[in-house]
Structure 1
Amino acid sequence: MQNSELKTPYFMINEEKLIANLEKAKQLKACSGVKLVLALKCFSTWGVFDVIKPYLDGTTSSGPYEVRLGHETFGGETHAYSVGYTEDDVKEVAGLCDKLIFNSQSQLSAHRHLVEGKASIGLRLNPGVSYAGQDLANPAREFSRLGVQADHLDPTVFDTIDGVMFHMNCENKDVDAFITLLDAISTQFGEQLDKLDWVSLGGGVFFTWPGYDIDKLGQALKQFAEKHGVQLYLEPGEAIITKTTDLVVTVVDIVENGMKTAIVNSATEAHRLDTLIYNEPASIREASDNGSHEYVIGSCSCLAGDQFCVTQFEHPLAIGQQLHIEDSAGYTMVKLNWFNGLKMPAIFCQRVDGRIQTLNEFGYDDFKRSLSQWPID
Structure 2
Amino acid sequence: MNPTELKTPYFLIEEDKLIENLEKAKRLKDLSGVKLVLALKCFSTWGVFDIIKPYLDGTTSSGPFEVKLGHETFGGETHAYSVGYSEDDVREVADICDKMIFNSQSQLTAYRHLVEGKASIGLRLNPGVSYAGQDLANPARKFSRLGVHFDQIDPEIFASLNGVMFHMNCENKDVDAFVGLLDAISEKFGSYLDQLEWVSLGGGVFFTWPGYDIEKLAAALKAFGERHGVQLYLEPGEAIITKTTDLVVTVVDIVENEMKTAIVDSATEAHRLDTLIYNEPASIGEASENGEHTYVIGSCSCLAGDQFCVASFDEPLKVGQRLHILDSAGYTMVKLNWFNGLRMPSVYCQRSNGDIQLLNEFDYQDFKRTLSQWSVS
Q: TM-score range by the shorter chain?
A: over 0.9
SS in 2 for 1:290: coil
**Counterpart of 2:179 in 1: which secondary structure?**
helix
Q: Distance in 1 between matches of 2:58 and 2:244?
A: 20
Q: Which residue of structure 2 aligns with residue 137 of structure 1?
A: 137
Matched, 1:211 2:211: yes
Superposition pairs for residues 1-377 of structure 1, below 5 Å? 1-376=1-376
**Percent same amino acid at aligned positions?**
81
Amino acid at match of 1:228: H
Q: CA deviation at 1:145?
A: 0.2
Aligned counterparts of 1:340 and 1:307: Cα–Cα separation in 2:
15
Q: Distance in 2 between matches of 1:358 and 1:94?
A: 33
Q: Deviations over 1:155-190 (max 9, x none)?
A: 111111100000000000000000000000000000
Which residue identity does 1:135 align to in structure 2?
Answer: D
Quote how far apart the aligned CAs of 1:4 are: 1.3
Residue 5 of structure 1: CA displacement?
1.0
SS across alignment from 2:367? helix
Aligned letter for 2:31? C
**1:295-344 CA-partner distances (Å, limit 9, x unpaired):** 00000000000000001000000000000000000000000000000000
The Cα shift of 1:374 comes to 3.0
- SS of the residue 2:371 aligns to: coil
Specify the SS of the correspondent of 1:122: strand
1:210-264 Cα distance to aligned partner (Å, 9 max, x none): 0000011000000000000000000000000000000000000000001100000
Letter in 2 for 1:241: I
| Structural RMSD (CA) | 0.6
- Could you list the per-position Cα deviations for residues 26-59 of structure 1 after superposition, in whole angstroms to 9, with x for gaps in the alignment? 0000000000000000000000000000000000
Query: Residue 252 of structure 2 aligns to which amino acid in structure 1?
Result: V
Q: Provide structure 1 residue ranges, at least 5 long, that are not aligned to the other structure.
A: none
The AA in structure 2 aligned to 1:190 is G
Can you give the 5+ residue segments of structure 2 that lack an aligned partner in the other structure?
none
Q: Which letter maps to 2:268? A: T
3-state SS of paired residue (1:370): helix
The one-character-per-residue Cα deviations of 1:4-36 (angstroms, maximum 9, x if unpaired) are: 110000000000000000000000000000000
Q: Give the Cα–Cα distance (whole angstroms) in 2 for the partners of residues 375 and 150 of structure 1.
A: 52
Deviation at 1:376, TM superposition (A): 4.1
Deviation at 1:372, TM superposition (A): 0.6
Q: Distance in 1 between matches of 2:54 and 2:85?
A: 31
| Aligned partner letter, 1:105 | Q
What residue identity is the alignment partner of 2:109? S
The 3-state SS of whatever aligns with 1:177 is: helix
State the one-letter code of the partner of 1:98: D
SS in 2 for 1:233: strand
Q: Deviations over 1:46-81 (max 9, x none)?
A: 000000000000000000000000000000000000
User: 1:147 is aligned with what amino acid?
Assistant: G
Which amino acid in 1 is paired with 2:80?
A
The amino acid across from 2:17 in the alignment is K
TM-score between both structures, scaled by the size of structure 2: 0.99
* Equivalent position SS for 2:146: coil
Secondary structure of the residue aligned to 2:49 is helix
